[in-house]
Amino acid sequence: MKQKFFRLIADLRFAIFILLVISGCSIIGTVIEQDQPIELYKINYPLTNPVFGFLSWDRIIQFGFDHVYKTWWFFTLIFLFGISLILCTFLQQFPSLKIARRCQFFRITNQFYQLKTSTILNNFSLNKILFRITKDKYSIFQQKSTIYCYKGLIGRIAPIVVHFSMILILLGTIIGSLFGFKAQEIIPKTETFHIQNILNNGQLTIVPKTSTRINDFWITYTESKTVAQFYSDISILDNKGKETNRKTISVNYPLIFKGTYYYQTDWNLIGLRFQNLEKEIVEYPLINILNNKTKVWLTMISNNYLIDDEIIAIIDNLEGYCSIYNKTGQFLGNLELNETINFKGPLTFLDVISSTGLQIKSDPGIPVIYSGFFFLMLSTLISYITYSQIWIIQNNKKIFIGGTTNRATYDFELEFFKLVK
């Protein structure tokens, strides 16, 4: 009963079925937004008008379609597929390799007629044939007048390496789902922060309590005034506030610290800093006026020394200037950093208070997944090594010789022709 059950799990058809089910679940996880607030699902998948007539937000939450790759049933499918690969390896692949390593001698000459590539040599030196076979890097085994040769046995381990690589990929996926996390932080420059705004995390995730300081943030622009690149100067601090690591990150060039990745993803402007007549530093908060569709901010600046009492400052970049308007919308000019405007009283533009947007991720399963893909590529190269076999029986003055291969049949036939020529 146990053997029948194990062989059922190790059957190729069962493995393909489980793989198809996993692929279907992955499609669901691709089509339906993952790890989003419940309000988003209520808007996109309403109860009154379900998608496809049955897919509503309550069913998405009920079956875990909002976090497919972290559900117990998805882990169960991966576990079954992994068990199938392991059982197939031990019940089929290892025995097959063991049989391939055995010396499989032909006992009767009739067996040669079952081979596609065979011939009979008359009055030919057996030693010459064996010498040529040795030159072709075959391993030779002999029992009296019967000879068995093979080469390319390493090609037979390719399926085992494939199974091992797939198990590593599945294991890395599970590790990443259980222990990984993703967070999003918006931090003003010169500020220190801890990871708090967690977007999604696994059941066994431990979020590091690392202190991080944003030393500076800036943007470079092209000649056409479009954004070329974003930069954040980041320092990792220890428990005493001492800097242990520092790097200037940009898009696609993250900081990596103890398996945690700090990506540059976004930016924002918080306020403008001015100095008035009394040398007081005054900060005015900025508001995004286009709902984040376009990076444009404004603020109202009031000062008792101004003629109109209030002016409007608009800014859309970090090039070091803002545009000034009066209350009626009349353009008064551009104000650059360290420049002073005089409306019966000086007001000096000191700084633009900016913040950087960081995406912080940790996926400890990534090295395991990469290792799995490495072995998968390695198995592809190994599979190109052909496994060839040659049998020889000497019967009086006749030499029966034949062979077979598992791939590259034409090359093997050419090699065999040169051998017997």
In a domain, 291, yes or no: yes
State pTM to two decimals.
0.72
SS3 call for 81: helix
Which of the listed ranges 298-312, 327-341, 368-382 does the model predict with the highest average pLDDT? 368-382
> Who contacts 343 (Cβ-Cβ below 8 Å, separation ≥6)?
303, 305, 306, 307, 308, 311
Place of tokens 């009492």: 309
pLDDT of residue 248: 95
pLDDT of residue 344: 60
pLDDT of residue 279: 83
Q: What's the average model confidence in pLDDT over 391-402?
A: 89
Amino acid at 36: Q
Q: What's the average model confidence in pLDDT over 291-303?
A: 76
pLDDT of residue 237: 93
Bridge-based pairing state of the strands 146-151 and 139-143: antiparallel
More confident residue, 238 or 421: 238
261 and 278 in a single domain? The answer is: no
Q: Which two tokens stand for residue 278?
A: 């009394």
Please give the share of the chain, as a percent, with pLDDT higher than 90. Answer: 35
Q: Rounded to whole angstroms, how far apart are CA atoms 387 and 404?
A: 9
In a domain, 257, yes or no: yes
Count of residues in the chain: 421
Q: Structurally, how many domains does the chain consist of? A: 4
> Who contacts 151 (Cβ-Cβ below 8 Å, separation ≥6)?
136, 137, 138, 139, 387, 388
In a domain, 370, yes or no: no
Taking only the tens place, the pLDDT of each residue in 265-286 is 989 999 999 888 788 888 889 9
69 and 116 in a single domain? The answer is: no
Does the pLDDT at position 307 exceed 50?
A: no
Q: Rounded to whole angstroms, how far apart are CA atoms 282 and 273?
A: 6
Q: What's the average model confidence in pLDDT over 403-411?
A: 89
Residue 346, phi then psi, degrees to nearest 5: -75, 145
Average pLDDT, the chain: 88
In a domain, 374, yes or no: no
Range of the domain at 209: 179-268+357-362
Does the pLDDT at position 379 exceed 80?
A: yes
In a domain, 256, yes or no: yes
339 and 391 in a single domain? The answer is: no
Q: What's the average model confidence in pLDDT over 210-225?
A: 89
